[in-house]
Structure 1
Amino acid sequence: MNKSIELSTREQILHMLKTKAPLTAKDITNELQITEMAVRRHLSTLDRDGYIEYSMLRPMMGRPTATYRLSELAEAFFPKTYHTLTLDLLEELKEESGEDMINLLFERRKIKLEQKYEHAMAELPLSEKVRQLTQIQNDNGYMAEYEEDADGTFVIKEHNCPISHIANQYNHACHCELELFQSLLQVDVQRTECLSAGGTKCAYVISKSKVNS
């Protein structure tokens, strides 16, 4: 019971900081009508988890006071509709220039990613390339992991797709990701499962067979 009450209070604090920041602990105390000790406990937890930032307000007289605002990390708590805007723009472009233009955009994005990463990975052994590619995907929100099988093949598993709304409608996005993996790793890569096709994850089997240049 106490846990649900604390969660509700923290949500209220996050909402206040979203709409009224910067705020002091006293501001929040007055608004929520709870003890300042309780407010400071919640602020301490939010600060520890990286959801808020603070700066010191130094008045002409009196003690400095901490003022709080949300961190960039906390923005994940609030609804975003970027994918809706993106899909609307892609649909407009499709009506204006055809689906080939959409595919061209995905191809150009793939080429830019190749150019960004290929030089650093070019001379690495396959195991290190797989490790770095997994880290790249993790940094981009794919919740990726990899494992090496007994026969020397690797499997990269992605448990999240940050562009799922786009990939569900434009399959060429998935095709370009597969080609990007092959280009960076320079070996044969097979997709065996796909989130946009109803799978529980995206899975890529990476062999030691070289791809044709």
Structure 2
Amino acid sequence: MAHPARAAGGRDTHEGQTRAAIVQLLVEHGPITAPEIGEQLGLSAAGVRRHLDALIDAGEAEAAAPPRRQGRGRGRPARRFQLTAVGRARLGHSYDDLATAAMRHLREIGGEAAIEDFARRRVQSILSGVDPAGQDVETVAEEIADSFSESGFAASTRRVGTGVQICQHHCPVSHVAEQFPELCEAEEEAFVEILGTHVQRLATIANGDAFCTTHVPILPAKEPPSS
């Protein structure tokens, strides 16, 4: 017979692992519905609701604003859930205070130019493996997202209308970027340089949004001149 304390400890560990898996889905795929979470993790509807309720009560998750209705479909759209700023902070922002202090010191000794140079070098390091030569814009955007994911940003792309959006669902330096927007600006400049087209930053985690979103237009291919 299992010892009661030992059994309780096992349940707590399993519960913690399940909740961590749900948080990871909210990071990488949020806003996401409860049925989608249950399908990916093999959880019952009641189990998903219990964990989501606990995260919402702790202020770590919230129901996302419903999308604008398109057309007149029947029924109410399923609620989607996403992490809050509190939830993202719980993921861990290692050495935030140290990084912020170092950036302030860099500004004191080198001015704004030193901050901007550091931000550019940081993004160049993240994207050093992306080679746009001979590739279409959408493929390059996917490579950019992959490079950011490898650096902890949980990035992805999605096709939207006549463009593609690069979404960063997590930002390990968001607390620093709140005080040093040069970090975000350098990312946008790097996107323009690599993609060879203008881009539009729609949202950033540093400004309190659920994730960073950059829209990249895809221009229609030019038709060859008629003979």
Same fold (TM over 0.5): yes
TM-score normalized by the length of structure 2: 0.53
Task: Give the secondary-structure state (helix, strand or coil) at the position aligned to 2:218.
Answer: strand
**Bigger proportion of residues as strand:** 1
User: For the residues of structure 1 that align with 2:152 and 2:193, how far apart are their CA atoms?
Assistant: 21
Q: CA deviation at 1:98?
A: 2.3
User: What is the identity percentage for the equivalent residue pairs of Structure 1 and Structure 2?
Assistant: 22
TM-score normalized by the length of structure 1: 0.57
Equivalent of 2:96 in 76, 83, 93: 83
- Show the counterpart of 2:9: 5
- Show the counterpart of 2:116: 103
Alpha-carbon displacement from aligned partner over 1:76-119 (angstroms, at most 9, x marks no partner):
xx9774222221122222223323322222133344556x235x
Q: Name the larger-Rg structure.
A: 1
Task: Give the secondary-structure state (helix, strand or coil) at the position aligned to 2:142.
Answer: helix
Aligned residue pairs: how many?
141
- Show the counterpart of 1:144: 155
Structure 2 residue identity aligned to 1:5:
G
Q: CA deviation at 1:199?
A: 1.0
- Note the residue ranges of structure 2 that are not aligned, 5 or more in a row: 15-90, 221-227
Asked if the contact 1:188/1:208 (under 8 Å) is kept, the reply is: no
- Show the counterpart of 1:155: 165
User: For the residues of structure 2 that align with 1:7 and 1:165, how far apart are their CA atoms?
Assistant: 34
Rate the CA distance shift 1:80–1:198 in 2: closer, same or farther, 3 A: closer
Rate the CA distance shift 1:150–1:4 in 2: closer, same or farther, 3 A: farther
Structure 2 residue identity aligned to 1:82:
Y
Rate the CA distance shift 1:90–1:149 in 2: closer, same or farther, 3 A: closer
Rate the CA distance shift 1:80–1:131 in 2: closer, same or farther, 3 A: closer
Task: Give the secondary-structure state (helix, strand or coil) at the position aligned to 2:171.
Answer: coil
- Note the residue ranges of structure 1 that are not aligned, 5 or more in a row: 11-77
Q: CA deviation at 1:157?
A: 1.2
